[in-house]
């Protein structure tokens, strides 16, 4: 089984700039002479429609490229005006490589353990903020003698709720088993 890889080769030295594939890292190159690039570790070029052969950088558009594959070596010859020519920039080759063996995914890590005490305290703080937010305007209305009977009733209910929240840690089974007080309507 094979898969496709894109290999970017630097024109001046023939060095691999990078390889884009499923992790194949066995591709090596040689630059034995002007305009000669030898690529080892491929199974040849990928034909269309899966592959696109090669692409040269725009700086090298006037160059001619010949590619052959024999004895496990992909040979790339570059000429310009009939003479061997080192690419000014780079060439990208679309090559076949051995497909990686199936990769077994590791088991997902266990969910993080949450300390029941931390969780209970965080929930108590959240509920206390809700109670404080509800109590503040009701208490203001009482303080300035503008509270209605309904405001006074609601204020008492919210304050009882807040007292109940403060007593949650006294419950048997706390912090793993908690019976949270009911939020006033």
pLDDT per residue as tens digits for the range 67-108: 999 998 999 999 999 999 999 988 988 888 777 666 677 888
24-34 pLDDT, tens digit per residue, is 667 888 999 99
pLDDT of residue 23: 55
pLDDT of residue 48: 66
109-141 pLDDT, tens digit per residue, is 888 898 999 999 999 999 999 999 999 999 999
pLDDT at residue 1 greater than cutoff 70: no
pLDDT range class, residue 11, cuts 50, 70, 90 = confident
Selection from 98, 35, 41, 99 nearest residue 67 by Cα: 35
What 165-171 contacts at long range (C-beta under 8 Å, 24+ apart), as own/partner pairs, is 165/124, 165/127, 165/128, 165/131, 168/120, 168/124, 169/120
Compute CA distances 69 → 22, 44, 76, 124, whole Å: 22, 6, 9, 71
pLDDT of residue 21: 61
pLDDT of residue 46: 76
């Amino acid at each position: 089984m094979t898969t496709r890889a894109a290999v970017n080769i630097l024109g001046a030295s023939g060095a691999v700039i990078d390889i884009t594939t499923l992790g194949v890292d066995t591709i090596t190159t040689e630059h034995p002479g002007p305009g000669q690039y030898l690529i080892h570790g491929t199974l040849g070029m990928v034909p269309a429609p899966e592959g696109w052969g090669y692409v040269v950088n725009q700086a090298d558009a006037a160059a001619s490229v010949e590619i052959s594959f024999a004895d496990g070596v992909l040979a790339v010859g570059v000429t310009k005006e009939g003479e061997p020519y080192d690419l000014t920039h780079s060439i990208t080759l679309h090559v076949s490589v051995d497909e990686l063996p199936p990769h077994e995914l590791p088991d997902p890590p266990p969910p993080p353990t949450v300390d029941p005490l931390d969780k209970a305290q965080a929930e108590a703080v959240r509920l206390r903020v809700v109670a404080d937010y509800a109590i503040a305007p009701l208490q203001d209305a009482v303080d300035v003698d503008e509270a209605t009977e309904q405001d006074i009733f609601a204020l008492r209910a919210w304050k009882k709720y807040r007292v109940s929240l403060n007593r949650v840690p006294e419950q048997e089974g706390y912090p793993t088993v908690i019976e949270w007080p009911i939020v006033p309507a």
